[in-house]
Structure 1
Amino acid sequence: MELAVKTLDGKAAGKATVDPAIFGLEDIRSDLLHRTVRWQLAKRQAGTHKTQSRDEVSVTTKKFIRQKGSGGARHGSRNAPIFVGGSVAHGPRVRSHAHDLPKKIRKLALAHALSSKVKEGSLIVLNEAKLDEAKTKELSAKFKALGVENALIIGGAEVDANFAKAARNIPNIDVLPVAGLNVYDILRRKQLVITKDALEGIGARFDAKAGEGK
């Protein structure tokens, strides 16, 4: 399977051969994408939300109402959940929201996410993503010529410093090295821009995962 390659100036720069098992899947599995996005977001969730239980509320423990004769219930302390300023019954506790997801599912989901961009015509392959100077205005003009408005840009093992610095002030543009490629960031942007170096890194990444599954 071949994909057209462009320069950052929008000119043709040949073609790149890619694995159809990674970029050419026809039936996109939305269930795999959903499971993987949930797994990623659950791992990011801090889980630091917490309310005070009854033994943590600092109030007087003095009996504030007589035992009998009030016409109401018998209470001993103000820290009960039914009172204003008291504790919270069954409130959230500090915990991890992370859950397991098999590596095979994650690998398949990444392939389906990449293939979905190819199928939508939203994948652009660049010869390289480098700039001589970190000028946002210059890079913004190049993106406009390429038709890039809302995109995730994947560089090689390391992202060019000038390119990353120029891109960080452009709205709706994310730049990541190939090691940071993930399903959530692919799906949250309309376009996916990948350099030729990144294509090689993706191929090596899938080969490594295939070796792990043997």
Structure 2
Amino acid sequence: MKVDVLSFDNKKAGSIDLDDAVFGLEPRRDILHRMVVYQLAKRQQGTHKAKPRNEVKATSKKMHRQKGTGGARHGNKAAPQFRGGGVAHPPRPRSHAIGLPKKVRRLALKHALSAKQAAKELIVVDQALLDEAKTKALIEAFGKLGLSNALIVDAEVDEKFRLAARNIPDVDVLPVVGANVYDILRREKLVLTKAAVEGLEARLK
């Protein structure tokens, strides 16, 4: 399919053909959902931990005599029912990652790109460059394109552009190798440079 290429001044700068195998699929919610769950589970640190009773430093001496006190027959201060004791079945450090085939992950990225194109939330620009790292200038450029919540993807992110964009809320900048389903879906608009389109098509073929 053919789409217009814009400049950051919101002027037409040509056109480009998008590969239907990457940008023209019928979006499937189930595949997108599986991929988002996979990404969010994988990025959890999994460093949560509490001490079980065998790791708590406490006396193991019998607390009082067996009979005659009117209390239960306790034999260890580290038992879970006591203040400062261990935790019964505590969380342990572990990986939360789940498995997802590589083919499904690649397909999910295609469906995410196709979903943005189908919803008319995909904008292709000629390049993402700035003469100087000025956030004010970039905000003005985004205003001309009507961007307030967007993900910008370039083949290689320009350092001045990245510095200018990092202070703008709800705006992310990623290289082609870092483009992923979760970041694409969480932003309202997806802005790709011509080089990013070629990079994504080469990556997903």
Regarding TM over 0.5, the answer is yes
Q: Which amino acid in structure 1 is aligned with residue 19 of structure 2?
A: D
TM-score normalized by structure 2?
A: 0.97
For residues 53 and 10 of structure 1, what CA distance do their matches in structure 2 show? 61
Q: Does 1:152 align with 2:136?
A: no
For residues 69 and 107 of structure 2, what CA distance do their matches in structure 1 show? 67
For residues 59 and 140 of structure 1, what CA distance do their matches in structure 2 show? 60
Q: Which amino acid in structure 2 is aligned with residue 122 of structure 1?
A: E
The within-5 A match list for 1:64-75 is 64-75=63-74
> Which residue pairs with 1:14 in the alignment?
14
Shift of 1:25: 1.6
For residues 195 and 65 of structure 1, what CA distance do their matches in structure 2 show? 75
For residues 18 and 70 of structure 1, what CA distance do their matches in structure 2 show? 82
TM-score normalized by structure 1?
A: 0.93
For residues 62 and 4 of structure 1, what CA distance do their matches in structure 2 show? 79
CA contact 2:110–2:204 (8 Å) conserved in 1: no
Q: Which amino acid in structure 1 is aligned with residue 4 of structure 2?
A: A
> Which residue pairs with 2:141 in the alignment?
142
Q: Does 1:100 align with 2:102?
A: no
The within-5 A match list for 1:19-168 is 19-26=19-26, 28-156=27-155, 158-168=156-166
For residues 143 and 153 of structure 2, what CA distance do their matches in structure 1 show? 18
Following TM superposition, the consecutive aligned residue runs of length 4 or more in structure 1 with deviations greater than 3 angstroms are: none
For residues 119 and 10 of structure 1, what CA distance do their matches in structure 2 show? 21
Shift of 1:142: 0.5
Q: CA RMSD in A?
A: 1.0
Q: Which amino acid in structure 1 is aligned with residue 188 of structure 2?
A: K
Shift of 1:70: 2.2
Partner-residue secondary structure (3-state), 1:194: strand
Question: Structure 2: any 5+ residue segments left out of the alignment?
Answer: none
For residues 19-61 of structure 1, the C-alpha deviation after alignment (integer angstroms, 9 at most, x for no partner) is: 11211123x2111111111111111111000110111111122
Shift of 1:10: 0.8
Shift of 1:72: 3.0
For residues 152 and 140 of structure 1, what CA distance do their matches in structure 2 show? 14
Q: Which amino acid in structure 1 is aligned with residue 166 of structure 2?
A: R
For residues 68 and 34 of structure 2, what CA distance do their matches in structure 1 show? 59
For residues 100-144 of structure 1, the C-alpha deviation after alignment (integer angstroms, 9 at most, x for no partner) is: 110111111111111111111111101000011111101100001
CA contact 2:165–2:173 (8 Å) conserved in 1: yes
Aligned length in residues: 205
For residues 91 and 2 of structure 1, what CA distance do their matches in structure 2 show? 57
For residues 165 and 115 of structure 2, what CA distance do their matches in structure 1 show? 25
For residues 160 and 9 of structure 1, what CA distance do their matches in structure 2 show? 18
For residues 140-186 of structure 1, the C-alpha deviation after alignment (integer angstroms, 9 at most, x for no partner) is: 00001100100110011x11111111111111100000110000100
> Which residue pairs with 1:179 in the alignment?
177
For residues 72 and 28 of structure 2, what CA distance do their matches in structure 1 show? 58
Shift of 1:95: 0.6
Partner-residue secondary structure (3-state), 1:104: helix
